[in-house]
Chain A
Amino acid sequence: MMLEIDNLNVYYNAIHALKGISFHLEKGEIVALIGANGAGKSTTLNTISGILRPRIGSVLFEGEDLTKIPPQDIVRKGIIQVPEGRKIFSKMTVAENLDIGAYASNDRARIKSNMDMMFQRFPRLSERRNQLGGTLSGGEQQMLAIARALMAEPRLLLMDEPSMGLAPILVEQIFDIIRDINEQGTSILLVEQNAQMALSISDRGYVMETGKIVLEGPSNELLVNPVVIDAYLGGGHD
């Protein structure tokens, strides 16, 4: 098992944000974490990344507990987050953003070849490589955020709402990219409000509600689950 979350309890001061969630992710999987605003999806990702610390519970990555390891060392273990709202460095050029993505590595030649690979994969970024990140469009910024994460050669990619604020056609593109990344061997933990899209590309899914996991199962089963359809797939209204 690649990632195993056990009884995770996270607080924002007095607010109990994660109330003992447990789930796991196998190597090579795409696992979707779906749920409404405030369900605790981003909190879960930030806890795995080491930015937040749990009060109770463990995050095991290949058998090693991450909850005591500082964020920059978690990055070096191959867990990279694509943060919500993209959060690219807007005052840095596209190329510099990618360079910062590979910060954990010292192998200049490898960084260079990775960067060339990113520019091949995202031709739009190549055209704009000397442009400041803040001047890119929303879709381009999301691509840059993904490319920046890929620069670190992740083994597990944590993606926080990659579809947020993007036009439907761009959402399709981004999800194609996600599937593509997964097919090349990177495991992905995908947090999404767009449950339809997330479940359609993932192997398994968990449904979160106010800090708890209320449903889990293979994605194709969740897609036809009446509770999920009713709450997250707009069922009953169309």
Chain B
Amino acid sequence: MTRNISNALHSAIIFIVVTIFLFLIGFTTTGSELIIKALSPSIAKTSEGLEIGFTIFISLIGFIIGLVASKREEPDTLGRNLVAGTIAGLISGVVIGLFGFLMGTLIENGIDLRGYLQSVSPDSMRKIVFDQPPNIGALRLGGIILLSSIFGSFINSTVIRAEWRKSLSTSVSESSTADSVRKTASKLGANQGFRMAMMAVLAAILIILPQQWGSYWNFVMGTVGIYILLGIGVNLIIGLAGQLILGYVAFFAIGAYTFALLTAPAPHNLQWNFWIAVGLAMISATIGSLFIGLPILNLRGDYLAIVTLGFGEIIRILVKSDLLTKFTGGPRGVRDIPGPTIFGQSFSSDVDYMYLIIAAVVVTAFVANRLQNSATGRAWVAIREDETVSKTTGVNSFAYKLLAFALSAAIAGLAGALFASRNQFTGPDDHVLMVSINVLCLLIVGGMGSLPGILLGAFTLKGLPELLRELENYRLLIFGALLVVMMLIRPEGLWPATRPKLEEKGKSIEAQKGEPT
């Protein structure tokens, strides 16, 4: 019994901290607005609407508290689950209610907390207690949490855990729906004709969509495409060769600036051909990677990460510096970068750029995929697994690491050039550390070493935030939460890599994994 209470207490404390944190950063207001907007846009702006949204928001939190608190209750009976949900709901209801009471009282006494906490406006705090006197509002707040928590534990016991019990009692060998879907998919995937048909459909979609969905979508998806490129590049060196490179943005910057300086009217007025400039952008990024890679690729692990992190910052600060303002345009960046032309025709509408980016992604993905499944790919994986042993099997680990590094830099250079050209601008602020972190995140969320994973990760991390503009201020918060959740429940990523099979294509590795050894 004590163990149960401590379990419930545990989840209650976590959620109390999270909820109060969400209150203090003002996320509750944004969240409530989003909820009510999704449910009924007509009353979204009214104060009743906000109140309903907030009630739903708070109920959701309470529901999750109940769900989590009763998750590990043993023995698994309805009573036990309900007790856990009630205890957790009661504790968190009381504490969060007290918090609401405290805030409400402070606001009522005319104390403005914005001096200490930027997002704690009197208005948003009054919303917490439903625009009512602090004592009544706090009771209502705590009551909602308690009730929804009990409801959560009830649902957990009657629906979720019941399903689980059912699946336990049915034969273990009987595969779940998800498994059978996957098996069907892989069976279809092996079918040549089906693959061709899928490719044709995909190609048709990629050709038609950019013309149909308007310039806003082209912009958003273009950015996603650029990040897919970066993801493919970084996957070579981090995902396959296992070398933790953090300053990847350096090569993005080198590519973007090489391209910009060669084509823009200022500061050098070179105005070279688009395609030559893109090629040179890739080459200069590669040279940059050799320049930094030759001396440092012997470092391992954290040391390599730190040095490359520094390199990324050095490049950004260099292009921004007064010293190089004449050469790079300094903090103001390079402007009026012209678009591409094909056979003398301008090729720079938003649709054209989308095609260009899609083409770049397809070609890069194809090359990366071929490399991954070649002897070179196996050498990279061997280095990732154990560099010393890979040496004793005859792999020239330094050369292969350098190759992976140079290739990924070239891809970053290409992405940088396309990015600069599409935006018609590049400046130091396009090349901040956050770009490297984003790319790493999309790799982790999507799944290291897997191409579909990269696509999925790029959509999740770059596409969704663009579409959910309201959440802009909380982007980092959500990234962080997403990473933590991913590490806990699906550390291999949304769409993990499957190992290519060397022999006997019929037999699946997955099927043998469970075998005792």
Contact yes or no, B382 A130, CB < 8 A: no
Contact code string B394-414 (vs A, CB < 8 Å = 1, else 0) = 111100000000000000000
Q: Which residue of A lies closest to B391 (CB)?
A: A71
Binds B, one of A9-17, A26-34, A87-95: A87-95
In Å, the complex CA distance between A71 and B395 comes to 9
- With A130-B504, A136-B517, A140-B517 as known contacts, state yes or no: A91 contacts B381, CB within 8 Å: yes
Do residues B382 and A92 form an inter-chain contact, with CB atoms below 8 A? Answer: yes
Contact among A95, A104, A131 with B394 in the assembled complex (CB-CB below 8 Å): A104
Count residues on chain A whose CB falls below 8 Å from chain B CBs.
Answer: 36
Partner among A71, A92, A129 whose Cβ is within 8 Å of the Cβ of B381: A92
**Chain A residues with Cβ under 8 A from B179's Cβ?**
none
> How many angstroms from the CA of A65 to the CA of B427 in the assembled complex?
54
Quick one: given A92-B378, A129-B504, A131-B509, are A87 and B389 in contact (CB under 8 Å)? yes
A 110-121 to B, binary, CB cutoff 8 A, 1 in contact else 0: 000000000000
A83 to B386, CA, bound (A): 11
Task: Write out the residue numbers on chain B whose beta carbons fall within 8 Å of the beta carbon of A130.
Answer: 501-504, 507-509, 512
Flag if B379 contacts A103 (CB, 8 Å). Answer: yes
Evaluate whether A137 and B395 lie within 8 angstroms (CB atoms) in the complex, with A90-B385, A92-B499, A130-B503 already known.
no
Complex contact B507–A83 (CB within 8 A): no
Q: Are B378 and A99 in contact (CB under 8 A)?
A: yes
- Chain B nearest Cβ from A155, distance in angstroms: 14
B393 pairs with A103, CB closer than 8 A:
yes
Report how far A135 CA is from B512 CA in the complex, Å: 9
Interface 1/0 per residue, B480-507 and A, CB below 8 Å: 0000000000000000000101111001
**Which residues of chain A come closer than 8 Å to B123, judged between CB atoms?**
none
Contact bitstring A132-154, B, C-beta under 8 A = 1, else 0? 10011100100000001100100
Which of B379, B390, B397, B509 has a CB less than 8 Å from the CB of A93? B509
B389 pairs with A72, CB closer than 8 A:
no
Q: How far is the CA of A70 from the CA of B399 in the complex (A)?
A: 12
B375, B391, B393, B513 pick with most chain A CB within 10 angstroms: B393
Contacting pair B396 A72 (CB below 8 A): yes
Q: Does B392 count as interface, using CB distance less than 8 angstroms?
A: yes
**B395 to A72, Cβ gap below 8 A?**
yes
Contact residues in A for B390 (Cβ distance below 8 Å): 100
Would you give the shortest CB distance from A53 to chain B, in whole angstroms?
13
B509 near A132: Cβ-Cβ < 8 Å: yes
Is A101 among interface residues, defined by CB-CB distance under 8 A? yes
Q: Does B174 contact A (CB under 8 A)?
A: no
Do the beta carbons of B503 and A95 come within 8 Å of each other?
Answer: yes
Q: How far is the CA of A132 from the CA of B502 in the complex (A)?
A: 12
| A18 contacts B by Cβ under 8 Å | no
Q: Which residues between 66 and 96 of chain A lie within 8 Å of chain B, taking CB atoms?
A: 70-72, 75-76, 80-81, 83, 87, 89-93, 95-96
Q: Which residues on the B side are within 8 Å of A75 (C-beta)?
A: 391-394
Contacts of B513 in A (CB 8 A): 131-132, 135
Q: How far is it, in angstroms, between the C-alpha of A136 and the C-alpha of B515 when the chains are bound?
A: 10
Q: Is the CB of A87 within 8 A of B395?
A: no
User: A148 touching B393 by the CB < 8 A rule?
Assistant: yes
Interface string of B369-392 (1 = CB under 8 A from A): 000000100110110011011111
Out of B385, B389, B397, name the residue touching A83 (CB < 8 Å).
B389
CB of A49 within 8 A of chain B? yes
In the bound complex, residues from chain A placing their C-beta under 8 Å from that of B391 are 49-51, 71-72, 75
Chain A residues numbered 197-219 whose CB sits less than 8 Å from any CB in chain B: none
CB contacts (< 8 Å) of A87 on chain B: these are 386, 388-389
Smallest CB-CB separation from A45: which chain B residue? Answer: B392
- The smallest C-beta distance from A123 to any residue of chain B, in angstroms, reads 15
| A99, A137, A149 interface centre (most CB from chain B within 10 Å) | A99
Chain B residues within an 8 Å CB radius of A50: 391
CA distance A71 to B391 in the complex (A): 6
Instruction: Give me 20 A-to-B residue pairs in the complex whose CB atoms sit less than 8 angstroms apart, sorted by A's number.
Output: A49-B392, A51-B388, A51-B392, A70-B396, A72-B395, A72-B397, A81-B392, A87-B386, A89-B389, A90-B385, A93-B499, A99-B375, A101-B393, A103-B379, A104-B394, A128-B512, A130-B504, A130-B508, A137-B517, A152-B393
Closest 5 CB pairs of A and B: A104-B394, A75-B394, A71-B391, A89-B385, A72-B396
